[in-house]
Amino acid sequence: MTTQTWIITGASRGFGRALAEAALAAGDHVVAAVRRPESVADLESAYPDDCLIAQFDARDVAAASDLVRDALDRFGQLDVLVNNAGRAVVGAVEEVSDAQLRELMDLHLFGPAALVRAALPAMRARGTGTIVQMSSQGGRASFPGVSAYSASKFALEGWSEALAGEVAPFGIRVLIVEPSRFRTAFNAADVLEFVEASETYRDLLADVRADMAGTDGRQEGDPARAAEIIVSLAHGDEVPLRLPLGREAVERVSGAYRRGLEEVERWAETARSADFEGVPASVRPI
């Protein structure tokens, strides 16, 4: 198997950590991009020739070029970029502030976008590369209480779908991963942020808040197995544009597609009636 070089953001724990461990175990090189270098010091000790620790805040768009340069200087190439760093804010639309919404957009969209732009020239030059965007089942279907999180993941997915079409001619692939609940730190008390509940929405979102706060350590998904799948795909000949991970994700994402199609079909005639009569449909390049 050809040795690949990975950049993985948020590699200190959760999916990022599992991916770093799986890639290193497969004989690959890993640049572990983390805010706290000490959190992955053990990986560098275990794989001194293959692991590089880079202090990096995924929201810092100005630091993206330096991170890519560090990877190229150390390992000479960049094969896989994983935009993994992320977290959630739980609260109703009226409860979440502009600052909180913007912070998630910085973390889940603007930061990854800057890192992709920094990585593309090196990938294009070699005519190969895989960009892994860690989204969520919440990036395809939303529900009350997670508007800010889903908004940022929906944005990442739309951006990434366009990206996939733009870079495919250069041999670069895009994989959007949509996990369900995995036993990561996502639901940990020091990661998951709950907005102060208002009187208006306290009862309405009580079950959502309790569910998300109480699931840490009980999630059905195995991050190690998920990481093995992603590493295998990165080394393989074909990757899907979207990959729901976990049984719940498969069911929820499938259900979202079915409900969306049913709604389109139900209102199709009303929607078609908005066009000028007798004017043929536009011919589009895509």
Map out the domains of the chain as residue ranges: 5-272
State the catalytic residues. 135, 149, 153
The pTM for the full model equals 0.93
**CA atoms of 82 and 116, how far apart (whole Å):** 9
Query: Per-residue pLDDT for the chain (286 aa), expressed as one digit of tens each?
Result: 799 999 999 999 999 999 999 999 999 999 999 999 999 999 999 999 999 999 999 999 999 999 999 999 999 999 999 999 998 899 999 999 999 999 999 999 999 999 999 999 999 999 999 999 999 999 999 999 999 999 999 999 999 999 999 999 999 999 999 998 888 867 776 777 898 899 999 998 999 899 877 777 677 778 999 999 999 999 999 999 999 999 999 999 999 999 999 999 999 999 999 999 988 888 888 7
Q: Give the CATH architecture of domain 5-272.
A: 3-Layer(aba) Sandwich (3.40)
Element housing 242 (H / E): strand 242-245
| Residues 51 and 33: beta-carbon distance below 8 Å | no
SS (H, E, C) 18-77: HHHHHHHHCCCEEEEEECCHHHHHHHHHHCCCCEEEEECCCCCHHHHHHHHHHHHHHHCC
- pLDDT per position as a tens digit, 113-151: 999 999 999 999 999 999 999 999 999 999 999 999 999
